[in-house]
């Protein structure tokens, strides 16, 4: 394990993951057990997934949160750095505050937004396409996992992710998640040929950039959703016209908002 840095941890960046996967849980378990492998077993993830969690947290915090312990009856282990302890302390305080706020929001009168939907608004990303979904199924395909996500209107959106990512998110059928994809990853046209590795969604053009060079197009989908993508030059699309959108399965990102 590389030499430890002494920089102050970037708490806001590291803690952005507490409510979306098991990274903070793994860090907490390392602090208790002094072992990455024990932490992985306790969190129900593979050793590889635990290491990926630590690497991501270190990158986000801007400093090492765990250091190697040499020697001892067990041959060594791992322990939290001062920065790691600080991240866990902040995580505990934020969790208490967040629980109180969401409990209050859940008491909103009928017709007003509930806490879980408002929590999703706190997700900050450059990806403009963000859809609430429910995990319908998880299957293995070519060494990866294919997750079928049901959109509000019943249409399916497929995402291809690694086993480690699924473990860290704790994905299971029936779980509420968010599906995200970049607008530049969405191809829009009047008609598209189906593909084994691409999602094809049907919608109605609600907005488009009129240009002979092609450009941005917004499609109205079922359930009140809107998908933003790009059409090629000479697309011939018009507002109010039916159209199709294509997205690679590997381009669909899964996130949790609570």
Per-residue pLDDT of the chain (258 residues; tens, 9 = 90+): 444 445 666 555 455 544 445 888 999 999 999 999 999 999 999 999 999 888 888 887 888 899 988 765 555 689 999 999 998 888 888 777 766 765 665 665 555 444 445 455 556 677 889 888 999 999 998 889 999 999 988 899 999 999 999 999 999 999 999 899 999 999 999 999 888 889 999 999 998 876 667 789 999 998 888 999 999 888 889 999 999 999 999 999 998 865
Q: What is the pLDDT of residue 161?
A: 95
| Residue-level pLDDT at 17 | 46
Would you state the pLDDT for residue 18?
A: 46
With tokens 């505050």, the residue in question is: 97
CB-CB contact of 129 with 186 (8 Å)? yes
Q: Distance between CA atoms of 13 and 57, rounded to whole angstroms?
A: 9
The topology under which CATH files domain 11-102 is Arc Repressor Mutant, subunit A (1.10.10)
181-247: same fold as 125-180?
yes
Per-residue confidence (pLDDT) for residue 72, from 0 to 100: 53
0.95 surpassed by pTM: no
Domain-by-domain residue ranges, the chain? 11-102, 125-180, 181-247
Pair of tokens at residue 53: 């969690």
The tens digit of pLDDT for each residue in 83-128 reads 999 988 888 887 777 667 656 656 655 554 444 454 555 566 778 8
What pLDDT is attached to residue 152? 87
Res 92: pLDDT: 82
| CATH code that applies to domain 125-180 | 2.40.50.100
Question: Structurally, what CATH architecture does the domain formed by 181-247 represent?
Answer: Beta Barrel (2.40)
Cα 196 to Cα 151: distance, rounded to the nearest angstrom: 20
Please give the pLDDT value at position 199.
95
pLDDT value for 143: 87
């Amino acid at each position: 394990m590389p030499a430890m840095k002494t920089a102050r941890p970037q708490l806001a960046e590291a803690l952005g993951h507490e409510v979306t996967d098991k990274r903070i849980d793994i860090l907490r378990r390392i602090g208790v057990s002094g072992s990455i492998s024990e932490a992985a077993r306790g969190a129900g993830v593979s050793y590889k997934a635990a290491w990926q969690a630590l690497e991501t947290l270190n990158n986000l915090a801007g400093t090492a949160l765990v250091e190697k312990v040499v020697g001892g009856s067990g041959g060594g282990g791992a322990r939290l750095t001062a920065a790691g302890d600080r991240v866990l302390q902040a995580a505990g305080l934020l969790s208490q505050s967040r629980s109180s706020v969401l409990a209050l929001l859940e008491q909103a009168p009928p017709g007003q937004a509930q806490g879980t939907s408002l929590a999703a608004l706190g997700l900050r990303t450059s990806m403009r396409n963000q859809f609430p979904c429910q995990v319908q199924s998880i299957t293995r395909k070519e060494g990866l996992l294919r997750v079928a996500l049901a959109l509000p209107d019943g249409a399916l959106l497929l995402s291809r992710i690694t086993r480690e990512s699924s473990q860290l998110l704790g994905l299971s059928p029936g779980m509420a998640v968010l599906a995200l994809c970049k607008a530049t990853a969405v191809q829009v046209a009047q008609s598209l040929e189906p593909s084994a590795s691409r999602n094809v969604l049907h919608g109605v053009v609600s907005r488009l950039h009129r240009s002979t060079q092609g450009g941005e197009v917004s499609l109205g989908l079922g359930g009140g959703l809107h998908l933003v993508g790009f059409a090629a030059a000479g697309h011939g699309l018009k507002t109010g016209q039916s159209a199709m959108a294509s997205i690679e399965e590997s381009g669909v990102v899964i996130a949790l908002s609570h």
